[in-house]
């Protein structure tokens, strides 16, 4: 095979042509597909919010008339009737919308001009779509339709010819006139003649077509307004007003970054739009991540890119894609791990010996360690030592502690044998079920720990429901594999080394890309780093507090306003993912808010890509992480957190641990 370009080079839907949007489109099975999520035929307005790379723009463009035209080709009218909708896509580009702001002109004036401009713009898109569709329609009253549309203006208008093309040209001239005056308002007085009332064109024109053309009577005309985040709050008020005042046969779907919805206020006497009343709100990455078919969707998404670039043309199923990735190493509990010694020569027993000696138990350390040794089975040995630490911690108050520790080690020696004979009956069984991956991470030589993230199954987990994350990982893995001379996606597997190099590059990109700039961005970088530090300390501790720890909960009633503000920003930028169910506090039974780090962060910090345990953070700890006013407390909170994780244990440690 000749050297080909990286098929994952372009990861942003905004950089795709309509043909590429159509070519790279992948859906879930029908009962859980994007039609079920986006509901294109619903007349209920919808706000589709999503983090960077959630696929929001790809989704919205897929429902545009341009994509319908590509899909249905010569059967366009029949296709649109079968779809039940016609989509009018408008991207609110930052360069365009930011012109309608400032320049010593008040927001109220700009709002009037901006609203008028949006109406003219959307009306052109609608009419242009109708013009392209008209060759498939039987329209005998084009002049009459145009005359009715002209009546929507507040002044008398005479066209040279009453046709759709002339009407579009007239609207285009109006738009150009606004553009010229807005662009020169610093040098010339801004004076725009607003010729129609807000919303009158964009709702009135579809209504006229539906009343005159039988083939369009059952069609929902959907305005797809993307990138709301580029608007100032006063401009967003108009979009919110369109949502509130929507008229049949129209509907509106607005796309926005999670951090980009600045207001739900409308122009209707300060009324606010409410989810479930005026619109339906969906968070796209949640819908994708929680879809039971996400893994299959992710494989199809990547395979579509590969086949489009000439790779894997004879592949029979997306499941065959796994073959091309060297998997993460697998170890059963009884397996040996390369370069990991057990017994007195291994790090696990050596460390335990030192801890016993330094805690005043030197005379019994040898006997205890001999009981816990497990030759050539480091995972079972690790589990036994973990159980011993637990026994030591729980019985710290016993006056005959040395005698008890010997007895505990002897009992664990019996548990080791029981596990080898009848695993399910042993105490070690549950420990290994929960902590096995964390134990492997502790035992593997440092340079190989990140091998745990390799293999397609794990790569899909790391992407955490964000298609762009997935494609970025693939892009970087492809580049490293190609650089390392591996000829990716031909005959041989991509090595673990190439995968890890690509994954780490992708995670570093995510950490830098998925946060805002400025002071808040710097605060978030520090805060997320501190959370990751806590989770990493836990994972590599002698006695981890929780297994697979990537989640924490907080009492929002006591956390500072600054802490809650920064956590909200972190969720908006998808560094943290919020769990709507929350977590019940063990003592008070209140429901605390629960947050998980994005798995794209995990490989950078060598954290799990799973979530089982939850760290209930004290108010003091969470404030020290997020609130600069409590910054000086972080070191003390970190010390408190570390003490229960390793011997020697004490009554003081137990009290500190109970605070969490």
SS (H, E, C) 446-465: HHHHHHHHCCHHHHHHHHCC
| pLDDT, mean of residues 191-200 | 92
Q: Which is it for strands 85-91 and 220-226: parallel, antiparallel or unpaired?
A: parallel
pLDDT at 660 over 60: no
pLDDT at 48 over 80: yes
**Listing from the earlier edge strand, what are the strands of the sheet with 46-50?**
85-91, 220-226, 250-257, 46-50, 280-283
Per-residue confidence (pLDDT) for residue 544, from 0 to 100 = 92
User: What is the tens place of the pLDDT at every residue in 437-494?
Assistant: 999 999 987 668 889 999 999 999 999 999 999 999 999 999 999 999 999 998 889 9
| pLDDT, mean of residues 300-320 | 88
Q: 656: pLDDT confidence band, cut at 50, 70 and 90?
A: very low
DSSP letter for each residue of 56-71: HHHHHHHTSHHHHHHH
Report pTM. Answer: 0.90
Task: Return the biggest CA–CA distance within the chain.
Answer: 106
Q: 318: pLDDT confidence band, cut at 50, 70 and 90?
A: confident
Q: CB under 8 Å to 475, separation ≥6 — which residues?
A: 6, 8, 9, 11, 502, 506
Q: Which is it for strands 250-257 and 46-50: parallel, antiparallel or unpaired?
A: parallel
417 or 318: which leads in pLDDT = 417
Instruction: Give, in order, the Cα–Cα distances in Å from 154 to each of 69, 163, 200, 518.
Output: 34, 20, 10, 46
Mean pLDDT of the chain: 90
Q: 173: pLDDT confidence band, cut at 50, 70 and 90?
A: very high
Q: 283: pLDDT confidence band, cut at 50, 70 and 90?
A: very high
How many C-beta neighbours within 10 Å does residue 333 have?
21
| pLDDT, mean of residues 352-364 | 93
Q: CB under 8 Å to 542, separation ≥6 — which residues?
A: 351, 355, 385, 386, 389, 645, 646, 647
Per-residue confidence (pLDDT) for residue 653, from 0 to 100 = 40
């Amino acid at each position: 095979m000749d050297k080909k370009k990286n098929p994952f080079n372009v990861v942003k839907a905004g950089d795709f042509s309509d043909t590429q949007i159509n070519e790279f489109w992948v859906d879930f099975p029908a009962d859980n597909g994007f039609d079920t999520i986006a509901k294109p035929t619903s007349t209920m307005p919808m706000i589709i919010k999503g983090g960077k790379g959630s696929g929001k723009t790809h989704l919205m463009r897929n429902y545009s008339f341009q994509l319908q035209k590509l899909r249905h080709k010569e059967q366009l009218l029949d296709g649109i009737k079968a779809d039940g909708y016609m989509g009018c896509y408008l991207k609110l580009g930052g360069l365009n919308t930011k012109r309608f702001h400032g320049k010593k002109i008040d927001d109220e004036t700009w709002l009037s001009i901006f609203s008028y401009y949006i109406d003219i713009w959307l009306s052109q898109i609608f009419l242009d779509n109708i013009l392209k569709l008209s060759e498939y329609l039987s329209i005998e009253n084009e002049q009459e339709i145009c005359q009715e549309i002209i009546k929507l203006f507040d002044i008398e208008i005479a066209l040279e010819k009453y046709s759709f093309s002339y009407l579009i040209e007239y609207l285009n001239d109006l738009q150009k006139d606004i553009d010229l005056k807005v662009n020169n308002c610093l040098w010339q007085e801004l004076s725009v003649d607003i010729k129609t009332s807000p919303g009158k064109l964009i709702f009135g024109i579809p209504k006229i077509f539906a009343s005159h053309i039988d083939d369009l009577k059952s069609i929902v005309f959907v305005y797809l307004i993307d990138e709301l985040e580029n608007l100032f709050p006063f401009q967003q008020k108009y979009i919110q007003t369109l949502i509130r005042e929507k008229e049949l046969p129209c509907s509106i779907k607005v796309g926005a970054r999670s951090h980009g919805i600045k207001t739900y206020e409308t122009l209707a006497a300060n009324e606010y739009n409410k989810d479930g009343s005026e619109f339906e709100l969906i968070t796209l990455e949640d819908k994708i991540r929680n879809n039971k078919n996400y893994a299959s969707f992710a494989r199809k998404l990547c395979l579509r890119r590969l086949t489009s670039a000439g790779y894997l043309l004879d592949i029979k199923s997306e499941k065959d894609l796994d073959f091309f990735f060297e998997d993460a190493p697998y170890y059963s509990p009884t397996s040996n791990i390369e370069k990991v010694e057990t017994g007195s020569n291994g790090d696990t027993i050596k460390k335990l010996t030192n801890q016993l000696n330094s805690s005043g138990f030197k005379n019994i350390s040898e006997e205890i360690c001999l009981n816990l040794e497990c030759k050539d089975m480091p995972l079972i040995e690790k589990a036994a030592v973990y159980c011993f630490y637990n026994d030591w911690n729980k019985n710290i108050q016993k006056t005959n502690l040395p005698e008890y520790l010997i007895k505990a080690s002897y009992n664990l020696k019996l548990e080791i044998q029981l596990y080898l004979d009848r695993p399910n009956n042993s105490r070690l069984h549950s420990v290994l079920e929960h902590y096995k991956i964390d134990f492997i991470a502790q035992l593997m030589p440092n340079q190989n720990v990140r091998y745990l993230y390799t293999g397609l199954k794990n790569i899909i987990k790391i992407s955490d429901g964000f298609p762009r994350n997935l494609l970025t990982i693939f892009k970087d893995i492809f580049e490293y594999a190609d650089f390392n001379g591996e000829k990716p996606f031909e005959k041989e597997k991509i090595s673990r080394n190439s995968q890890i190099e690509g994954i780490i590059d992708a995670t570093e990109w995510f950490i830098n890309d998925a946060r805002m700039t400025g002071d808040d961005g710097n605060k978030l970088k520090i805060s997320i780093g501190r959370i990751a530090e806590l989770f990493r300390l836990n994972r590599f501790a002698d006695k981890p507090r929780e297994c697979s720890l990537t989640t924490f909960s907080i009492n929002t009633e006591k956390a500072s306003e600054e802490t809650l503000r920064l956590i909200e920003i972190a969720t908006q930028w998808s560094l943290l993912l919020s769990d709507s169910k929350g977590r019940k506090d063990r003592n008070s039974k209140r429901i605390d808010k629960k947050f998980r780090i994005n798995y794209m962060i995990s490989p950078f910090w060598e954290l799990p890509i799973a979530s089982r345990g939850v760290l209930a953070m004290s108010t003091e700890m969470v404030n020290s992480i997020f609130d600069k006013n409590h910054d000086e407390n972080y070191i003390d909170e970190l010390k408190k957190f570390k003490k229960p994780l390793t011997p020697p244990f004490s009554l003081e440690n137990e009290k500190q641990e109970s605070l969490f």
